Each structure stands twice: as C-alpha cells, then as structure tokens.
Structure 1
C-alpha cells in the first residue's frame, strides 16, 4: 500500500511542478481532488483526473493559470472523506472539488462541507438517488454535478439481466450505507416489476470479523441467483463464505465489484457464472478516442470502474473554471457548466488541442459541446446524467470483458415496462 500511495503522490507532485505548455508559471489555482487512492480501484480514478489537469495545463491552464491539483485520500470512509474535503476547502482554499466516489462519502461532503462553503463539487461515480432528492429539495444550491448515472439505472439493468437469464427468484446482499440501501431498494422494485421474486434483502456492515450469519440467512432463502451490491472488501468475504457453504454461482454484481482484487481473492474458477453491470459509454468516436489515449498514457486499456466518468468530470469542471475566470467562486464555476455542455455549441474533443480550442472559444464567451469519454454529457436540473449500460464478465485470462451492450433507449424502455 505504501508503494501505491507513494506512486500517486509522486504523480500529483509531477502535475504541480512540471513546466507544461503555456500555463503561466507564476500563477496557480488550487483544485481539490478527493478520491480513495489507498484502495486498488480508487487509484486509477484519481490518476485519470490528474491526467486531465496535466492536459489542461499543457493547453494553457485555467484562465492562464496552472492548475495545482491537491489530492487527498478519502479511503472510501465518510469521516475520512469529510476531513479531507474540509482540509481542501478550509486550508487549501479550493473553489472546486472533484470527488468523491462512494455515495456515502459524497453526501456528507456535499451537505456539510462544499455547499455550506459555496464550493462547486463534481463526482465521477456517486450514484445514489438520495443526491437527486437533496438537489430537488434545494440542498445542493446548484453546486453539485455527477457524470455517473443514478442507481436506478444500474438496478434496472440488473433486473433486465435476471429476466433474460430466466431467474425466478433472487436474494439481495447489499452494503449497509447510503449507496447500498438505495440500490438494494431500487433493485428489489425492479426485480419484482420484472416478475422475479425477491426472497430477502440482507444488509452487510463494514469491517465485521465474519459474515457467516448473513450468508447463512441468505442461503436459507434458496434463491435462483444472488444480487451483490457490495464493495470488493466485503464482497470478497461474503462470496467466499457463500461459495464455501454451497451457494449458487449464479450471481449478478454491481459495478463496484469490477475489481481485480475481487476476482483474484474469490478465484476466477468460482466466477464463471458471475455477470456484472455498469454504466457504459455510447458507441461514439470520443469514447473510442478516450480508450486509445488512456491506453497510450497508462500502458493498458481502462478496465476499472469510473475511469471515463472521472475523465469527463475533471474536464468539464476545469473548463467551467476557465470560463468563469481565475477569481471565480464555486457558484460562478458551477454556473458555467452549461456553457461546456451546450448541445448547440462547437464540438470539442478531450485532448490537448481540443482543450486549447475550447478555452479560446470560452474566453470569447462562446459555448461548447464537450465530446468526452462518455460522449456528449448533458446534465438535468439536479446535476444528473443518463447513460447506456453494459453487462461484463471476468474472462478466463483475468481480463474484464464486455458481455452485452444495452443502449440508453433499451434501458429507458425496460424501466418503463417494469414501472
């Protein structure tokens, strides 16, 4: 773990100290990044955001100032995450915070740190519908955005998979936090709407020495399949217990289990029937370009959760900061997001030349349509997005491979059919 932390801290330092492009050396703007870098799947998410900051700097910087990305570890823990966000806002003076990942971390940051301080926040990966409710009630004050679709979409896709597989019954094991409670309740509604009996919903709490009691409870319901809305740490312990006690290998998992750590610890031989769900990018050129550029940058294709969403969150936020100007408040940055995601604006690619062109247009007061890793992102009045989806599997060689692409139209039609 020390090596992973050292590597990412070095990457952050490089982003700060490198002489990049035309960005002014005597003018820097602090930007907060709060991601779980001490967790295996969190490090690439943070690295992707730092990569965007590098490209923005090479393209000239935010309003001529070099972006100073200040990276703090949330450890996917609400208390640690809030402390990290407070440090970024109170000590580092950021007006823009990129993060967090887990909904259970993002919610307290939004409600107790960024919104009270008037700081804009954008998340790559938080999906709970609770954030939509908070926004609808006026709790985000227009300061919060996310580039990942809500749990409602992922729950619907899980039900679609179960229906297509012919499952008649299912039991849900979920992480007992804001995200897990939300997706478990929505998944239960979607499964039942699809004609699939939900035998039980079993909560999994963090850091228990054993999950045997919960697994035995789930086994007693004798479902055709298991739905797992868990993170890798708990998921590993639960699935190993489940398999050891003779549970079915027919499992559907949320995108949080798209992890090499999960596959390696459980054992690929036990995951042949496992199918995961995730939000996907539309089949457009900008999504393909992201994969190619990411592979060239990091030496392997993006396969973990949230990487294209992290790219788009950082790019949209930093371009909005440029449009608002170096002295902008969080509210002023947030107000410029619409200029970056204007369907009528000039189409802009997510590379150095694209960012340079975008900043020139924005400096002239013209809007753009950013064509990112997840396509042309647009936000609704609550800062939410919609997206297509994908089923994925762990391949025999250990890679994560796409099993089926589900278009946005198919997702929408399925939700309408079960509701």
Structure 2
C-alpha cells in the first residue's frame, strides 16, 4: 500500500514536471538534469515536504532551469525506514546518476544514507529536517567530506526550548518517551540534561520502537514515577499509540511535544479534547520579509498555510541546492555543487529572493563571478563549517484547524537560553 501511494505521488510529480516543460516559456530547454529526493511520502506529514520541494523545482524551471537544463526531481519514498531509505538512495545515485540528493527527514534515515551512499559516492546531500547532533560530530571528525548540509537547526534547539516550556509551566517532574533511533536517542540525551540543568526531575526515560502491537509496558514504566508532565520525542504513528495508552492508564494531559508531532494525523487520532494542555516546540522562521513572502507563495500555490513540519526548511533546502548547482555549472559533480553552497549563501553577496525571479537574478550574478545572499523562507540562511544552521524557535498548540503560535523566541533569545543551561 505504501509503495503504491508513493508511486502515485511520484507519477503525479513527474507529470507536473512534464506539463511545466510543455507549457513553459519559449526558453524551455532541450536537456534535463535529474536530482534525487528521498522523503517519506507514505506518511501524511511527509507528502507536503515533498510537494514543497517540487514547488521549488517548478519555479526554477520557470526561470529557465539550472545551467541551461530543466530539472527533474526523481522522488523515492523512505517510509521513515533506514533500510528502505538506503535502498532508495542507492537507486538514485547508482541507477539515475544523481549528484544531488534531497533528504531524508528522519535523522535515523539520513545518517545511513550519508555514511553508506552519498559520502562514498561523492554526492551532495541536503536535508530539510534531520536534526541529530551526531551529524555535527561526524562533520567535525572530517567524515562528511563537506557534502552534508541541513536547513533545520540541531536537536539542541528543540531540547532547550522543550525544557524551557516545562520550566515556564511550573512542572517539577517529567517522564520522557522517545523514538528509539538516532534522532530520538539524541533528543532524549539532550533534553534530559536540560531538564536537570533547570532542576526538573526526569522520572523515566523510555525508548519506543516502531510497529509494536502495544506500548502498554513502556507507558506503564513511564507512569511509575507519577510525573507532572510527559515529554514526547516521537513521530505520529507511535506517538498516537503511546499517548492513547498513556491517557487510558490515567496519565496527565500535561504534554510537551517535539515538532515531529505537529501533524493533523496526530491531532485527529488522539483527539483535540485530550490535547488542551499539550504544547509543542519547533524551529521558526525569523520575522523578516522573505519569510512572509514564502507564506504568501505557499498559500497561492497550495491554498492553505504552511502549517506542517519542515515546509519552510524543505523550500530553502531545495532552492539553495539548486542555486549551488547553477553556480557549479553543467555536469557538475556532487563535490563541486557542495563547494558552491557558500557562494549562494554569502552574507556579503547580492541579495536575491526565493522565487523564480530571484533565481533568474542569481543566475546573472553568478555568471559574472559574483556571489549571492539567499533570502528565503527561514531568512538569510547561513551554514557553519559542519553544514549546520541556527534558528529562532516557536512554542505552539493544537487548534481545531491546525496549530497556533503561543510564543516566539528570536535567535538571540534561543542562543542566550541555551548558554544559560551550560
């Protein structure tokens, strides 16, 4: 079933590309360059991430493509499964010959792809959403080859803001349920330390595995310490099952959620009536004109607000990667594309907007040997030496129609709070 859904989406996206190429401007090209995308299209929160990336491709093709060729995004579903993700990435690199790979979302999927596919294959990998600090460590050890970038801030931001929420709410004790993968283990380690730094007792740290028929044993263990609140570092499928067990056993409705649960599926399957005291965290776009411009573009294209997780990050990841391809030139290798990322996110470069006209303007600047300052959905993106970014943060809650912002923390506020924990 999942593979069939993924295939239909891939077909729809390929059809959209074909129509864009036929109905495009007179400048339509007679060559095509493929890029790869490994994203979880078989889950409700993953499809919009893929659709947002495809939206960027449509705009770039409208602007004339990359290095004289139209772009075709070959999309494969990861099913949020490391083995499926690695197999998908191998097919894109070894069979389709892509030099640029977008994805994955989950750190537990991105990591094996990076270490076993893209780094050995000298392919650039740009993730919208993987946040584990394990990538930072790998880069510091020189094991990413400069081929890894992500437009989502590290897990440290979400952990710190989650701890701040608990402190602000006056919780004295918290139990943690976390997904038993690279991302969840990293998040659990960080937020447990942040809770401790704020004097909040962690009564239990319980790992949750995929696909179990029941989580009663794990939930019972988490309930044993009678915590004031529950922290959830889970995805919607196991998150829904675990929270249902938690509530049925008398657990508190005081919950703090990672951004992975910012999902209509989770809200609807648990029930809004049980989530009134639940607060979520996420990284956020800065309060700048380029972020507002993205929201307007998204609403025009999709008919609604970009409320799901990772959408602005997916937009920026795709646009920056394609700008780097443009800067690198036709038939560029993954290493050459990665080397140009700094030139298209140069704080001293010519400012360009994150749309078709901005891409066309960037092409002219780059052709003359200049650099550009990309101004996107998450602001003026800056990568450090490890391919990491910093970001503001937001606290949110569920509403009948989606989510609503409760508190916004600027980049300075986030950095200052993280510093105070140390």
With normalisation by structure 1, the TM-score equals 0.98
SS in 1 for 2:30: strand
Deviation of 1:17 after TM superposition, in Å, equals: 4.8
Residues 152 and 313 of structure 2 are in contact (CA less than 8 Å); yes or no, is this contact kept in structure 1? yes
Aligned to 1:349: 353
Residues 6 and 76 of structure 2 are in contact (CA less than 8 Å); yes or no, is this contact kept in structure 1? no
Aligned to 1:392: 396
Does 1:41 find its partner at 2:45?
Answer: yes
Partner deviation per Cα, 1:336-377 (whole Å, 9 max, x = no partner): 000110000111111111111011111111100000000000
* RMSD, aligned CA: 1.2
Q: 1:379 aligns with which of 379, 383, 389?
A: 383
Distance 1:383 1:22 in 2: 37
SS in 1 for 2:76: strand
Does 1:418 find its partner at 2:421?
Answer: yes
Aligned residue-pair number: 418
Residues 5 and 37 of structure 1 are in contact (CA less than 8 Å); yes or no, is this contact kept in structure 2? no
Aligned to 2:293: 289
Please list, as runs of the form range in 1=range in 2, the aligned pairs for 1:148-167 lying within 5 A after superposition. Answer: 148-167=152-171
Please list, as runs of the form range in 1=range in 2, the aligned pairs for 1:11-410 lying within 5 A after superposition. Answer: 11-19=13-21, 20-21=24-25, 24-395=28-399, 397-410=400-413
SS in 2 for 1:370: strand
SS in 2 for 1:26: coil
Partner deviation per Cα, 1:199-231 (whole Å, 9 max, x = no partner): 110000111110000001111111110000000
Residues 10 and 74 of structure 2 are in contact (CA less than 8 Å); yes or no, is this contact kept in structure 1? no
Distance 2:284 2:195 in 1: 21
- Give unmatched runs, 5+ long, in structure 2: none
Residues 279 and 395 of structure 2 are in contact (CA less than 8 Å); yes or no, is this contact kept in structure 1? yes
Residues 5 and 42 of structure 2 are in contact (CA less than 8 Å); yes or no, is this contact kept in structure 1? no
Q: 1:199 to 1:329 in 2, by over 3 A?
A: same
With normalisation by structure 2, the TM-score equals 0.97
Residues 22 and 57 of structure 1 are in contact (CA less than 8 Å); yes or no, is this contact kept in structure 2? no
Larger mean Cα displacement after TM superposition, 350-359 or 225-234: 350-359
Distance 2:328 2:275 in 1: 48
Residues 8 and 47 of structure 1 are in contact (CA less than 8 Å); yes or no, is this contact kept in structure 2? no
Distance 1:184 1:12 in 2: 39
Q: 1:231 to 1:22 in 2, by over 3 A?
A: farther
Q: 1:134 to 1:22 in 2, by over 3 A?
A: farther
